Amino acid sequence: MHRQQRRANTGLLLLFAQIYQFGLNNIPPVTLATLGLNVYLFLNPVKHLHYVCISVHEGYHRGDWQRLLLSPFHHADDWHLYFNMVSLLWKGTKLEQRLGSVLFALIIAVFSQLIGVVYVLLELILAETMDDPSYRMQCAVGFSGVLFALKVLNNHYYPGGSTSLFGLQVSNKYACWAELAAIHMLSPGTSFIGHLSGILVGLLYTHGPLGTILRTAVSFFTNPLSYPFSLFWLG
């Protein structure tokens, strides 16, 4: 997630170059559709960033929960879009091939909304515990919270190995935490709480009940006859 501003061009051109190099035929359908949605909304935003970013003030206090739907898919500028979509290209392709398109689509849909809820909750807790109203006003947009969650899933499904971070080899098991700290130090304009929310939602999937819930939902809707008839009873 990122805070506001807007421009265009170079990052978008580089993104198209990356997609061309990767090959459209090599991008699974849900990853491609998600990427396309982000690019489309960057070129044709539903509203100005000020009216789509999510915060405690706008979401919780004013009840504008439509921002949960819009904020993950809008970006502050073309470079914000570029880095997020290149990351999606690689993470999404690996995970969609591993999990299947139906489950991956559900993961994208649920993560994009749940991360916003966790973000608002954490900012509200910080505002209350630190008695600092500025946490209520911090407004975030962008897909990077979802990408941090997908990184947790990638490390879960493809364990082992390490990542080079500024010349230091960091075990992939801890890479998302190291990246969280590094990004926050190097780019203060990014949303630390937004990225943290993504990691927490990812862990809720890999080590909590969310993964079981989503996999069960996919199994039910793709093969409902395999479930006992008693599941359909209402009482």
Looking at the annotation, which residues are catalytic? 144, 195
Evaluate whether 169 touches 31 at the Cβ level (below 8 Å): no
**C-beta atoms surrounding 118 within 10 Å:** 20
Distances from the Cα of 203 to the Cαs of 58, 92, 183, 197, in angstroms?
27, 17, 20, 10
Residues 84-106 as b or e (16 or more Cβ within 10 Å = b): bbbbbbebbbbbbeebeeebbbb
Rounded to 10 degrees, what is the CA torsion of 45, 48, 52, 55?
A: 150
Phi-psi region of 160 (alpha: psi -120 to 50; beta: other; left: phi over 0): left
Q: d(Cα 205, Cα 107) in Å, to the nearest integer? A: 9
